[in-house]
Chain A
Amino acid sequence: MDPSLSVSDITSSTKPLSEASSPPVMDLLSEPASEASSAPMVDLLMEPASEGSSAPMVDILSEPASEASSAPMVDLLMEPASEGSSAPMVDLLMEPASEASSAPMMNLLMEPASEPPKPDIDPLADIINDTPLSEGKTPVAAMPQEPPSDLFDDEPSELFAEPRQSNTANDNYNEHPTDIFTEEAITTLPSAVSTVSVNSKTNGVHSDEEEPDIFAEATVELSLDSPRNDRKKKEAAKPSASASAPAPSVSASASKPQPKTLEELIIVFHSTGDGMNAYMAYKVSTQTTLPMFRSKTFTVRRRFSDFLGLYEKLSDKHTLNGYIVPPPPEKSIMGMTKVKVGKEDNSSAEFVERRRAALERYLQRVVFHPSLLQDPDVREFLERDDMPRAHNTQALSGAGFLKMINRATDSLSKMTIKMNESDVWFEEKLQEVEAEDQQLRKLHIMVDSLVGHRKELSVNTGGFAKSVAMLGSSEDNTALSRALSQLAEVEDKMEQLHQEQAASDSFCFAELLADYIRLLGSVRASFDQRMKTWQRWQDAQNMLQKKRETEAKLLWANKPDKLQQAKDDITEWEAKVTQYERDFDRVSATVRKEVLRFEKEKARDFKKQIIKYLESLLQSQQQLIKYWEAFLPEAKAIA
Chain B
Amino acid sequence: SPNFLLVGYLIKNRICTSDSETGGSPKWDNKAQYLLTCIGFAVGIGNVWRFPYLCQIYGGGAFLIPYLIALVFEGLPLLFLELAVGQRLRKGSVGVWKTINPVIGGVGIGCLIVSFLVGVFYNTILAWVLWYFFHSFQEPLPWSTCPLNESRTDYNLECKKSTPVNYFWYRETLNITPDIEISGSVEWGMVICLASAWCIVYICFIKGIDSMGKAVYVTSTFPYLVLTIFLIRALTLPGATDGLLYLFTPDWQTLKNPRVWLDAATQIFFSLSVAFGGLISFSSYNEEKNNCERDAVLVGVINSATSLYASIPVFSILGFKATTALNACKDENILALTNHFEFSDQNITLQNYDYWYEYLNTTYPGKFQSLSLRECDLQKLLKQVLTPSYSTGLAFIVFTEAVISMPGSQVWAVLFFVMLFSLGLSSMFGNIEGVLSPLNELKLLPRWIPKELTSAIICLISFLVALLFTLSSGNYWVEVFNGYVGSVPLLIIALFEIIGVIYFRGMKTFSDDIYIMTGKRPNIFWKACWMVISPLLLLVVFVAYVIVQAQTRPTYQAWNPDYEKFPETEQKLYPDWVFAIIILLCVVPVISIPLVALYQLLRGRFRKSSVGMELNPYDNDAFVTDTQEQKTQRA
A and B assemble together: no
Interface residues of A (CB under 8 A from B): none
Interface residues of B (CB under 8 A from A): none
